Amino acid sequence: MKIVGVRLSRVRYPLAGAKVTAHSVVSQHHRTIIRLDTDTGLTGLGECSGHPDTWRLAGLVARQMLGRDPRDFLPFRHEFARMNFHQRNGRNGWIAYGGVETACWDLIGRHAGRPVFDLLGGACRDRVPVVLGLGAVPLSEGASRADAEAIMDDLGNVDRVVAYARQRLGTTGIRTIKLKSAAYRPEWDLQVLTALREAFGPDMALRVDPNAGYTPAQAMTLFRRLDRLGLEFFEDPTADLEGMARLRRTVRTPLATNMCVIQFEQLPPAIRLGAIDIVLGDVYHWGGIAAVRDLIAVCGAFGLGFGIHSTLESEWDIGVAANLHIAASVPSMRTAMDGHFPSVAGGILDGEPLRVEGGAIRVPDGPGLGIRLDEAKIATLTVETAGTAL
């Protein structure tokens, strides 16, 4: 089996409303859809960020795969990706590589007639619980950071977040809420999380993610007060290993990260410093499915928890499917899968969509990732294409 063609589409990914985080207010993302065609007539699907830098790098990596057997991804990783990305393009390179490597796994599974989770040792579950991803405040499309801050200036608006969460939860059965913090006003975060706890009771797992927007000193003040709410974890409450380690010594709630530990060389200092409890990994930052498998091994050996992270909470269906296969094959995964569920405005799959039911998504069990693209839908969202063939 040899890769003989590469086709990429940069697509617009519309969100339902504007999403407010510590660093941005966005109404849409862009994603890179990757298709690797083989001489056996198969097409493997991958996805990564559609940022112009990763879009360019994804094209570069995918073209390097031409003529290779997709099953030979490890030498490629070590020979090409490490040299190029470690030394030059860093995180963006690994994100691009992760998208291409996902397409390789899809091909390997399709060729073998097995779902990807079987290539990872088999499934421990056929459904994966997911989170409800909440922006810091509910905003309509086109709103600005100033609009968000105006809402947060009035603590009387806290109820709007609760009402929005209730509406979004609907009948999905989701049992975990992840709140993005704008890291704008600690009191707002405290009041919102308190209100969510009161509204949904102790059985609803709560997480908060200020994307390292608070300084360690600010974080110590806020998160010690949040301790009493019994959150599942604080995600990147502050920046960097040193700050996380200091905070971790002062709070009881576990600390999770997808910002200060996103590459393997960051694990040893994180472990030595006692900076984290949970690593939130994904195929993009860590550079592919095999890398996430290695990450899970390291976490398990050192007593760290592992959870599935979502890149900008914006993977589309291919990325979600890849995450589902990983989550299905990890016995030790105890936390709901990250993502912007269920707010994605329409999927890009041909056939059965990835639907949240009973708080979980069923893992596709067809060969490879078990999904097919709706190319007509992709075409309506495409802003750029690239491709090459042998």
Partner 1 sequence: MAGLWIEGVDLDLLAWPPGRGDGGMILISVQGSDGCVGYGEAAAGPGCLDRLHALASFLPGRDAFRLTAMHDSWSERQEPARGRTAALTGAIEAALLDLQARHAGVPLCRYLGGRYTDRVPLAGHLGGGPDPAALAEQAAGLVRDRGCRALTVESAGDDGDDGARLAALRRALGPDIGLRLDLMASPVVVQAQAVLARVDACFPEFVIDPSDSLAGLARLRRLAGAAIAAGRGAPDPEGLARAIGGDALDVWVADALDCGGPAAFLRGVALCRTFAVDIALCARGRSEIGAALALHLAATHRVANRAVELAPEVFGGVLAGGLQVCDGHALLPHGDGLGVTPDPDRVAALRVGRITVAGGAGAGQGRVPA
Please name the residues in contact with 308: beta carbons below 8 A apart, sequence gap of 6 or more: 280, 281, 282, 323, 326, 327, 333, 335, 337, 338
CB of 57 to partner 1, least distance (A): 21
* 271 binds partner 1, rule: CB under 8 A: yes
* 230 binds partner 1, rule: CB under 8 A: no
Among 76, 233, 284, 341, binds partner 1 (CB under 8 A): 76
Q: Cα(101)–Cα(57) distance, rounded to whole angstroms?
A: 13
**Which amino acid, one-letter code, is at 315?**
E
CB of 334 to partner 1, least distance (A): 16
Q: Among the candidate windows 4-12, 129-137, 286-294, 314-322, which touches partner 1 by CB under 8 A?
A: 286-294
- 3-class SS of residue 100: helix
Interface size with partner 1, residues (CB under 8 A) = 39
Cβ atoms within 10 Å, residue 346: 14
Beta bridge partners of 29: 13
* 346 binds partner 1, rule: CB under 8 A: no
Q: Among the candidate windows 89-97, 113-121, 129-137, 338-346, which touches partner 1 by CB under 8 A?
A: 113-121
Q: Among the candidate windows 120-128, 131-139, 199-207, 380-388, which touches partner 1 by CB under 8 A?
A: 120-128
CB of 388 to partner 1, least distance (A): 22
Among 24, 39, 52, 79, binds partner 1 (CB under 8 A): 79
Among 53, 240, 277, 365, binds partner 1 (CB under 8 A): 365
Beta bridge partners of 45: 35
Cβ atoms within 10 Å, residue 143: 18
CB contact burial 66-83 (16+ within 10 A = b; e otherwise): bebbbeebeebbeebbee
* Residue closer to partner 1 (CB basis): 113 or 358: 113
Q: Is the peptide bond before 342 cis (omega within 30 degrees of 0)?
A: yes
* Residue closer to partner 1 (CB basis): 75 or 156: 75
Residues contributing to the site for partner 1 (CB under 8 A): 69, 71-76, 78-79, 111-115, 118-119, 121-124, 264-265, 267-268, 271, 290, 293-295, 297-298, 300-302, 329, 331, 365-367
